[in-house]
């Protein structure tokens, strides 16, 4: 069969359109960019992590299978801790420039999971994020209440308390997990927060960005000034009623929109 130049172009456009409008095809096409032929897996995974951390990768559900060992080595090899420590240092340096009032309304918001508490032990058993998220299994881990803290986050938290900031904890965990979450936080060294905000019945099903923005908005309406916000997800930091400065800590294991 013979095709003219115009019919070939038309066929290409129709084929491309079919890919774009087909969710099954387009989602697979946009999930991960394939590594260049001459690129090593380590080099590709390092670039992928940068894209994921800077939110250039967009929405993604699992760590690329070829990057599981890379993420494992990044988490356990010391670089993760160094990266988090640098973020904490920048946050403390900024906090020292803020002029606090005497009304107790100068606030700093913290996320909890992968920000104050580490779930790395859980993710070690689930491919460092290369396996699909299982809400049931993760909540079984949460209620054990054994998650350790991060050295860098403890340093930042204590420095902010010493400077006089009011600490507000804002998490995607459910209200039913309040007691175990509070105990876990205290067990690893966090004390003296102003309030702990968790998902209630009316928050179920909301995207993290919407839910956290709404909670921050309520805080602002009470007269608080949110000078800083620290979280491992962009959805912890973006939306509305955002902080004057936001500090994204490293987490290449999962993405929450």
Q: Confirm whether 255 is domain-assigned.
A: no
Decide if pLDDT at 44 tops 70.
yes
Q: Please say whether the dihedral angle defined by the alpha carbons of residues 12, 17, 18 and 24, taken in this order, is positive or negative.
A: positive
What's the pTM value of the predicted model, to 2 decimals?
A: 0.86
Where residue 35 falls among pLDDT bands split at 50, 70, 90? low
Decide if pLDDT at 18 tops 90.
no
Which of the listed ranges 15-19, 38-42, 96-100 does the model predict with the highest average pLDDT?
96-100
Q: Could you read off the pLDDT of 232-257 as tens digits, one per residue? A: 999 999 999 999 999 999 999 999 99
Can you tell me the distance from the alpha carbon of 169 to that of 215, in angstroms, rounded to the nearest whole number? 10
Alpha-helical runs (H) found in 115-150:
120-124, 135-142
Q: Confirm whether 77 is domain-assigned.
A: yes
Can you tell me the distance from the alpha carbon of 158 to that of 51, in angstroms, rounded to the nearest whole number? 31
Which residues, in sequence order, are bridge partners of residue 245? Answer: 228
Can you tell me the distance from the alpha carbon of 196 to that of 91, in angstroms, rounded to the nearest whole number? 21
| 225-231 sheet: strands from edge to edge | 195-199, 166-174, 106-110, 225-231, 245-248
* Count of domains observed in the chain: 1
Q: Confirm whether 230 is domain-assigned.
A: yes
Q: Confirm whether 214 is domain-assigned.
A: yes
Q: Could you read off the pLDDT of 203-233 as tens digits, one per residue? A: 999 999 999 999 999 999 999 999 999 999 9
% pLDDT > 70, the chain: 85
DSSP 8-state symbol, 165? P
Can you tell me the distance from the alpha carbon of 131 to that of 26, in angstroms, rounded to the nearest whole number? 21
Which run of H or E residues covers position 248? strand 245-248
Q: Confirm whether 93 is domain-assigned.
A: yes
Q: Which of 33-37, 128-132, 141-145, 176-180 has the lowest mean pLDDT?
A: 33-37
Q: Confirm whether 115 is domain-assigned.
A: yes
pLDDT for 38 equals: 55
Write out the residue range of the structural domain in which residue 18 sits.
5-248
Q: Confirm whether 254 is domain-assigned.
A: no
Q: Which two tokens stand for residue 225?
A: 């000034």
Q: Confirm whether 52 is domain-assigned.
A: yes
Looking at residue 168, which CATH number applies to its domain?
A: 3.40.50.1000
Q: Which two tokens stand for residue 242?
A: 């955002």
């Amino acid at each position: 069969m013979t095709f003219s130049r115009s019919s070939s172009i038309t066929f290409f456009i129709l084929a491309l359109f079919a890919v774009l409008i087909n969710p099954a095809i387009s989602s697979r096409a946009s999930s991960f960019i394939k590594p260049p032929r001459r690129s090593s897996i380590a080099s590709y995974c390092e670039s992928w992590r940068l894209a994921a951390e800077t939110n250039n990768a967009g929405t993604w559900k699992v760590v690329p299978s070829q990057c599981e060992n890379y993420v494992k080595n990044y988490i356990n090899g010391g670089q993760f801790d160094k990266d988090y420590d640098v973020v904490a240092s920048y946050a403390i340096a900024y906090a020292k420039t803020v002029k606090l009032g005497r009304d107790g309304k100068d606030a700093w918001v913290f996320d909890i999971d992968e920000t104050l508490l580490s779930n790395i032990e859980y993710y070690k058993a689930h491919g460092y994020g290369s396996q699909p998220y299982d809400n049931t299994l993760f909540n079984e881990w949460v209620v054990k209440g054994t998650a350790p803290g991060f050295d860098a986050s403890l340093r930042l938290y204590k420095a902010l308390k010493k400077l006089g900031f009011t600490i507000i904890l804002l998490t995607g965990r459910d209200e039913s997990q309040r007691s175990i979450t509070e105990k876990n936080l205290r067990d690893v060294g966090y004390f003296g927060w102003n309030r702990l905000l968790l998902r209630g019945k009316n928050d179920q099903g909301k995207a993290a960005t919407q839910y956290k923005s709404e909670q921050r908005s309520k805080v602002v309406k009470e007269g608080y000034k949110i000078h800083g916000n620290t979280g491992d997800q962009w959805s912890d930091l973006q939306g509305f009623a955002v902080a004057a400065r936001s500090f994204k800590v490293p987490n290449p294991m999962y993405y929450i929109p």
